[in-house]
Structure 1
Amino acid sequence: MSVRQWAADLAMGVRFAFAGGREGWVRALLTAVGVGLGVALLLLTTAIPNALAVRDDREAARNDLYYGDTDTKVSRSDHSLLIANAGTTFRDKDVRGRVLEPEGPRAPLPPGVEKFPAQGEMVVSPALKDLLESGSGKLLRERLPQRIVGTIGESGLVGSAELAFYRGGQGLTDALGDGSAARIEQFGRSQDSSEELDPVLLLLILVVFVVLLMPVAVFIAAAVRFGGERRDRRLAALRLVGSDSRMTRRIAAGEALAGAVLGLVLGAGFFLMGREAAGSVEVFDVSVFPSYLNPSPALTLLVGLAVPAAAVLVTLFALRSVVIEPLGVVRTAKPARRRLWWRLLLPVAGLAALYPMVGQGRDDGDFNQYLVIGGVMLLLIGVTALLPWIVERVVGRLGGGGVAWQLAVRRLQLSSGTAARMVNGIAVAVAGAIALQMLFAGVEGNYTKDTDYDVSLAQMQVSVPPGESRLGEAAEKFRRTEGVRKIYAYSEGYLGDRRRDAQLNASVVVGDCASLREVADLPSCREGDVFAVRGAEYDTDTPKLAKAGRTLYFDPSYEGGPKTAEIPWVLPSDLKQAQTREDPTGSRRGGFLITPSALPAAAAPTLDGQLYLNLDESVPDVRDLVRNTAATIDPLTEPMVWRSVERADRYTAIRTGLFAGAACVLALIGASLLVSQLEQLRERKKLLSSLVAFGTRRSTLSLSVLWQTAIPIALGLLLASVVGMTLGAVLLRMTDNAVRVDWPSVLSMTGVGAAVVLVVTLLSLPPLLRLMRPDGLRTE
């Protein structure tokens, strides 16, 4: 067969799609909408790597604070800038903040900022400006009272919804010594941040992409087969006028090609609309600018070629067992029973691809990316291959019942393949989601750790600048703050056995008796007491230092470092002993405990203050009330929220990406199911009208349509659960974790899939009622 003949037959199919009257246009449009939704999501996916790269570049371009970087010391000059971190949190949303103090006329401006704000002024991101000017930002406005004099440009932000500000400052030179401020000459100085990705995290990324993209591919394959039954009747007419069976199939492929190409155009339009809408959407605290979403040209070309090619191949594959004769299509007769053996080969091949990596874990290098992608794809494709066979076998054994049930079952028995195709996408998505949830739950312990914080005793911690009087003033302010029930106040520092270059060291904690009892078991306590704490695991110096009458030194100096206070203090003769215990932070402290009146007045400025706050969680925005109070004490202090566990940043980022992608895929699946349902109803318009004309109640027909959707969906979700749990178990063994079925995730993912179908069915009821009118029998 020549290429010219192929092209001519495909071109004829394209002409039939667009010149076949209203029927052809409707079918082509339905196919195009379905394909377009899938193409839009594929283009979005191909744009994600570029969006992440741009976000990283923007973050790198504004790098300013280099903690622990001692290689480069910047001296004051005409082009130096003092900068300090002033970031905060508002209702669990991070607010990036910096205080700027230029030291010369050529000081570097941050990206996106046109000029430095003066003292009492700030430039903010557009999202932060909107928040501060809204009623919901009242509490944050109290914390950031500076006058807004400009907005940060796109080049200085990583996302459209990012909350960020730069404000003018003075006197930051004093903060250079304690590390809370830095002097820089440029933004974006590169740092060595090369860190190899954990093999298990790389596995998670690979599986996430496959799981999110497979339902899209399955749906596109289903969309090009819309209107199959009416198309086959037209193909029979072509046979009647002389075309052979192969030519007829190529013409059918040409019709599918027309819908796919039109779908590419619609998909590009959907993508551009979604791209613009992305600038105003934040999903799981991740936002982007529309300009970030630029698909790779190579990947875009791949999508543009793959989708039409898939349309042609899928159509030819679908018609391989259909006998198209001049007087009809042998699909209306009882079809041949589907074979099981080759359908089982797909998941078996997938398991075989993954099996060599079982037990590899995190210590044996990266997982083979090709085997991971291929194995997961084969397992998920196995769902699409097995589901038609399962639906056919189950509905073939269903029997009597009500009229609605019989209508639904008979329809499924005649076209079980169509019903299975409709739910393949949701089944693949649920299977992949169950596997991923099991994998995330299984490896979570590797990326989470207990903080040991006693969150029942305190929920927030606030650092206070040195000075016993400042600690007392700060504690009093917090006592007047709404929602603060109790405060544990400590001043913390160090003692040495020598004025300079101390050989023995011990920590010192100053607080009232109630507070000290939270860090050690005290025999008795009254104001003026001093305790030596014993029993701390790593504290070997305290027993050597704890001798009454011995002179120790607060804040000793060390060779090569700046001269510090070196304040002498004589241990009292009535030094008491205390036994260590777990303090609120989960540590067992050693050293000395001192009540306030026993502390030398000269030593107070050498101690850092810490406040541990017990909060009334029923008070609205209690954490933000605490942050507002802390800002009045020290604008550069950000209270720390205690959590019982903390997760690794990269693990959290991957899980966030999964949730964001899953939200897009579920939206696509819902839209695709609705389009598919409408196409099915359109094809059966005359049949529904005939049944109504013969007296069938509309409620009966509506219920039959519901059963026609519910039965395949139930079977699809059951198969998805089995395949998902199998894939999840294999992935867990690959990461060398115990196999444990995360039943809440399995049930929740299955429930989400069922909910999507229920919503789609409800949305299809109004069109169904319109199609059940007698005028649906009209023909031309």
Structure 2
Amino acid sequence: MGVRFAFTGGREGWVRALLTAVGVGLGVALLLLTTAIPNALAARHAREAARQDYTYGQKVPLRADDTLVIADVDTRYHDKDVRGRLVEPEGARAPLPPGVAAYPATGEMVVSPALRDLLASDAGKLLRERLPYRVTGTIGERGLIGSHELAYYAGAEHLAPLINRSTVARISEYGEPRPTSERTDPVLILLVLVVFVVLLMPVAVFIAAAVRFGGERRDRRLAALRLIGADSRMARRIAAGEALAGSLLGLVLGTVFFLTGRQIAGSVEILDISVFPGYLNPSPGLALLVAVAVPAASVLVTLFALRGVVIEPLGVVRTAKPARRRLWWRLLPPLGGLGMLSPMAGQGRTGGDFNQYLVTGGVVLLLVGVTALLPWIVETVVARLGSGPLAWQLAVRRLQLSSGTAARTVNGIAVAVAGAIALQMLFAGVQGDYTKASRNDLSRAQMQVNLPPGVRTGPAAREFAGTRGVRGVTALYGGSLGDASWTKGPERTAEVTVGDCASLREVAALPSCRDGDLFVVSGGEYDTDTPALAEPGRKLFFDPSYAGPRAVPEVAWTVPHGLKPARSVKDPTGVRHGGFLMTPGALPPGAETSVVGQIYLSLDRSVPDAVEYVRNTTARVAPTADPMLWAASEQSRKFTSIRTGLFVGAACVLALIGASLLVSQLEQLRERRKLLSSLVAFGTRRRTLSLSVLWQTAVPITLGLLLASVVGLTLGAVLLRMTDATVGVDWASVLTMTGIGAAVVLVVTLLSLPPLLRLMRPDGLRTE
């Protein structure tokens, strides 16, 4: 009977069922998305592993009919990563990378669809200069980790002499040769657990609120059923049937929303993360759990909501003044959550993994405490609110009559804000462990280019000096000297740094300098052998390994008389060099192949795209070089990826919060249609009614955000104690989170004003 009432009970029944289904469907869609995340991450990892082309720790294969020389030429363009490879197949059976039908010829390239579109647009002008290859094909989905990934394979030649195992390698197959498993940091596991719980709790709260849409009208219908002979248990079963019908329809709509969103996901990119629709396949077991849990929860929530309602044949007793809510049992969930988390205080990353069940249960109970305490707080506060303007009085009286409905409306946003505050505190507290300050001196240089062996530093430095946006160039060669042949292994070694006088002054304080001078440096880091090696007449040998895999003759050098002393100072990277300093005129003949160049660049930031011009010059001078843009700090990639995942998830949850709040607000306005029409018929101004609706939203959301701040700060402090980090409050983040929550509610309220104005008509009193 309950299911029939939902679908065949006239316009009233199916409108309520549709509103319930939309609210439940939005939650189901996000739950299905969450269950698909592990598969999406696994799919991205599998795609990345399948195209792996490095040979770290592996023996380089000999040239054969099935080998390929491949060079890593990754770059960045306007803060977006571009995966690039130069390829030179050495035989007809050279392995093809996933997604590529045939290797491009020299001077040609195959590109990802996103890179093809970028190169064809005006925004890709500078990148076209960096990639002077003709596009002849497209990389298929199997060869990409995301729909918006920028990637290409370009044909090249003469790569074999550059093989160095790090950026240039010879391979006979793609794929990770020996997958390694490393122990994950317990604190990172804790972060992932808390992120999932915090993102999913608002979804559960919204689903619980959605199944209670239209509860007052439903109870009045149940009273009519009592009048014709139904007992109270039968009435509750009928109510449960109505809720079940709405939730089942919500499952259908949620599946439609999810499938639609999955297709849309292939065309969007959030925080540089993109996926293919095929990645988002929910785990069958988790999807089945959602399909069972949501209808079961809707029935339980309905029965729980009716526990304090007496439905009699002549009406619903709830319309009289309800009994005051009790506080004592509402304190049990947060206290229980604190009790579950407190045994892990001070555990940190050295005490082993955190108990996942205690962490999940403790965080869930603390956030459930928000939903339990908020109705009591709203009821207690609004009962004490007094006189004021007419709009205020209308809002306060409505809140006093149905404070529970108002609390349910903002419960989800309060839970989301509480969890977000706790997470922000946790991330702020532990990010110092995953962020290290860079030693680079950004006042002296902002970019660094390490030239590969075989690239002459002098001509390269002149190219960079003529690049648009470059203000200063410091070019240094680096190598090593030993007291014996490097084939036997020297006992003592020292650095050798080569550069012109201006560049050498970046690494040492020089008394005077002109081309042809030699210096011996004191004060270098970990430099103990230089005094012994600096004896005049001593024969030293340049390390030939700096020339890369090419066989070069070992160059001997005799320490001359008259070495000038120099005192080491920090170079632009914060390192103190030791050993010997040489100007180009003092470098022995043939030794230029035994040193490699580093170029430090100072940029004119007033020039737009100065960084891109430098990257273009690097691609022209040394395609396998990696131009590094310096930053004040470096952060762990795993920590950064977890935080990025949080932001992506938070964006989805905020979208759900806004949509669900809007549906809830429209449902409440529909419930009050006749009341609003009566007030307008008696002469109440529409402006007054609109303000009263705003006040009805503002009061509970203010109380909800205050409670969320308290619970969030408490949870954040407990989590920081668990990670053995210093407990501190990032007030900027707290204010930001509460501000975002308030902004979402304000936007939803403004969007609900047009329907409100349409409902405020006297003809709304018409009935049959």
TM-score (norm 2): 0.98
Q: Name the residue aligned to 2:372.
A: 385
Give, in angstroms, the shift of residue 537 of structure 1.
3.5
Is the alpha carbon distance of 1:693 and 1:178 closer, same or farther for their aligned partners in structure 2, counting shifts above 3 Å?
closer
Give, in angstroms, the shift of residue 526 of structure 1.
2.9
Q: Name the residue aligned to 1:14.
A: 3
* 1:502 and 1:556 in contact (8 A); partners too: no
Question: For each residue in 1:482-517, what CA deviation from the matched residue of structure 2 results, as whole angstroms up to 9, or x when unmatched?
Answer: 111111111111112223432221111111222212
Q: What amino acid maps onto 2:234 in structure 1? A: M
Q: In the alignment, which of 722, 729, 734 is matched to residue 741 of structure 1?
A: 729
* Range with greater deviation from structure 2 (508-517 or 421-430): 508-517
Q: In the alignment, which of 555, 560, 564 is matched to residue 572 of structure 1?
A: 560
Give, in angstroms, the shift of residue 590 of structure 1.
0.7
Q: How does 1:279-358 map to 2 (within 5 A)?
A: 279-358=266-345
Question: Which segments of structure 1 move beyond 6 Å, counting only runs of 4 or more?
Answer: none
Give, in angstroms, the shift of residue 605 of structure 1.
2.2
Q: In the alignment, which of 55, 59, 63 is matched to residue 44 of structure 2?
A: 55
Q: Do residues 638 (structure 1) and 626 (structure 2) align?
A: yes
Give, in angstroms, the shift of residue 177 of structure 1.
4.8
Q: How does 1:88-127 map to 2 (within 5 A)?
A: 88-127=75-114
C-alpha separation in 2, matches of 1:779 and 1:618: 70
Q: Name the residue aligned to 1:508.
A: 496
C-alpha separation in 2, matches of 1:601 and 1:177: 25
Question: For each residue in 1:157-191, what CA deviation from the matched residue of structure 2 results, as whole angstroms up to 9, or x when unmatched?
Answer: 11111111111111111112575321111111432
* 1:495 and 1:556 in contact (8 A); partners too: no
Q: Name the residue aligned to 2:429.
A: 442
Q: Name the residue aligned to 2:32.
A: 43
* 1:681 and 1:768 in contact (8 A); partners too: yes
Question: For each residue in 1:447-489, what CA deviation from the matched residue of structure 2 results, as whole angstroms up to 9, or x when unmatched?
Answer: 1111211112111101224468x32221122122111111111
Give, in angstroms, the shift of residue 267 of structure 1.
0.3
Is the alpha carbon distance of 1:670 and 1:150 closer, same or farther for their aligned partners in structure 2, counting shifts above 3 Å?
same
SS of the residue 2:85 aligns to: strand
Q: How does 1:541-690 map to 2 (within 5 A)?
A: 541-555=529-543, 564-690=552-678
Give, in angstroms, the shift of residue 612 of structure 1.
0.3
Give, in angstroms, the shift of residue 525 of structure 1.
2.6
SS of the residue 1:319 aligns to: helix
Q: What amino acid maps onto 1:302 in structure 2? A: L
C-alpha separation in 1, matches of 2:649 and 2:545: 55
Q: Name the residue aligned to 1:164.
A: 151
Q: Do residues 714 (structure 1) and 733 (structure 2) align?
A: no
Q: What amino acid maps onto 1:38 in structure 2? A: G
Give, in angstroms, the shift of residue 228 of structure 1.
1.0
Q: Name the residue aligned to 2:483.
A: 497
Q: How does 1:392-471 map to 2 (within 5 A)?
A: 392-466=379-453, 470-471=456-457
Give, in angstroms, the shift of residue 250 of structure 1.
1.1
* Range with greater deviation from structure 2 (543-552 or 159-168): 543-552
C-alpha separation in 2, matches of 1:340 and 1:178: 67
Question: For each residue in 1:92-113, what CA deviation from the matched residue of structure 2 results, as whole angstroms up to 9, or x when unmatched?
Answer: 1111111111111111100000
Question: For each residue in 1:222-245, what CA deviation from the matched residue of structure 2 results, as whole angstroms up to 9, or x when unmatched?
Answer: 000001111111111111111111
Is the alpha carbon distance of 1:188 and 1:178 closer, same or farther for their aligned partners in structure 2, counting shifts above 3 Å?
closer
C-alpha separation in 2, matches of 1:117 and 1:515: 41
* Range with greater deviation from structure 2 (105-114 or 507-516): 507-516
* 1:554 and 1:565 in contact (8 A); partners too: no
Q: Name the residue aligned to 1:527.
A: 515
Q: Name the residue aligned to 1:6.
A: none
Q: Name the residue aligned to 2:462.
A: 476
Q: In the alignment, which of 691, 698, 708 is matched to residue 679 of structure 2?
A: 691
C-alpha separation in 1, matches of 2:259 and 2:175: 31
Question: For each residue in 1:589-645, what CA deviation from the matched residue of structure 2 results, as whole angstroms up to 9, or x when unmatched?
Answer: 111111222222421222111110011222222111110011110122220111121
Q: What amino acid maps onto 1:629 in structure 2? A: T
Give, in angstroms, the shift of residue 667 of structure 1.
0.4
* 1:120 and 1:167 in contact (8 A); partners too: yes
* Range with greater deviation from structure 2 (549-558 or 497-506): 549-558
Q: Name the residue aligned to 1:4.
A: none
Q: Do residues 278 (structure 1) and 265 (structure 2) align?
A: yes
Q: In the alignment, which of 236, 260, 264 is matched to residue 251 of structure 2?
A: 264
Q: Do residues 241 (structure 1) and 228 (structure 2) align?
A: yes
C-alpha separation in 1, matches of 2:638 and 2:290: 29
Q: Name the residue aligned to 1:372.
A: 359
SS of the residue 1:739 aligns to: coil
SS of the residue 2:146 aligns to: coil
* Range with greater deviation from structure 2 (403-412 or 538-547): 538-547
Gaps of 5+ in 2: none
* 1:387 and 1:424 in contact (8 A); partners too: yes
Is the alpha carbon distance of 1:466 and 1:369 closer, same or farther for their aligned partners in structure 2, counting shifts above 3 Å?
closer
* 1:87 and 1:96 in contact (8 A); partners too: yes
C-alpha separation in 1, matches of 2:263 and 2:370: 35
Q: CA RMSD in A?
A: 1.4
* Range with greater deviation from structure 2 (740-749 or 215-224): 740-749
C-alpha separation in 1, matches of 2:319 and 2:133: 75
Give, in angstroms, the shift of residue 774 of structure 1.
1.6
Q: What amino acid maps onto 2:22 in structure 1? A: V
Give, in angstroms, the shift of residue 79 of structure 1.
0.9
Q: In the alignment, which of 758, 761, 765 is matched to residue 773 of structure 1?
A: 761
Give, in angstroms, the shift of residue 562 of structure 1.
8.2
Q: In the alignment, which of 136, 144, 155 is matched to residue 131 of structure 2?
A: 144
* 1:215 and 1:425 in contact (8 A); partners too: yes
* 1:555 and 1:564 in contact (8 A); partners too: no
C-alpha separation in 2, matches of 1:740 and 1:40: 36
Question: For each residue in 1:527-572, what CA deviation from the matched residue of structure 2 results, as whole angstroms up to 9, or x when unmatched?
Answer: 32211111123111111111234332222589xx986432222333
Q: What amino acid maps onto 2:7 in structure 1? A: F
* Range with greater deviation from structure 2 (506-515 or 661-670): 506-515
Q: Name the residue aligned to 2:207.
A: 220
C-alpha separation in 2, matches of 1:178 and 1:419: 64
Is the alpha carbon distance of 1:367 and 1:255 closer, same or farther for their aligned partners in structure 2, counting shifts above 3 Å?
same
* 1:383 and 1:424 in contact (8 A); partners too: yes
SS of the residue 1:320 aligns to: helix
Is the alpha carbon distance of 1:600 and 1:353 closer, same or farther for their aligned partners in structure 2, counting shifts above 3 Å?
same
TM-score (norm 1): 0.96
Question: For each residue in 1:75-99, what CA deviation from the matched residue of structure 2 results, as whole angstroms up to 9, or x when unmatched?
Answer: 1111111111111111111111111
Is the alpha carbon distance of 1:361 and 1:287 closer, same or farther for their aligned partners in structure 2, counting shifts above 3 Å?
same
* 1:498 and 1:556 in contact (8 A); partners too: no
C-alpha separation in 2, matches of 1:557 and 1:607: 9
Gaps of 5+ in 1: 1-11
SS of the residue 1:331 aligns to: helix
Give, in angstroms, the shift of residue 303 of structure 1.
0.5
C-alpha separation in 1, matches of 2:584 and 2:572: 20
C-alpha separation in 1, matches of 2:766 and 2:506: 85
SS of the residue 2:271 aligns to: coil
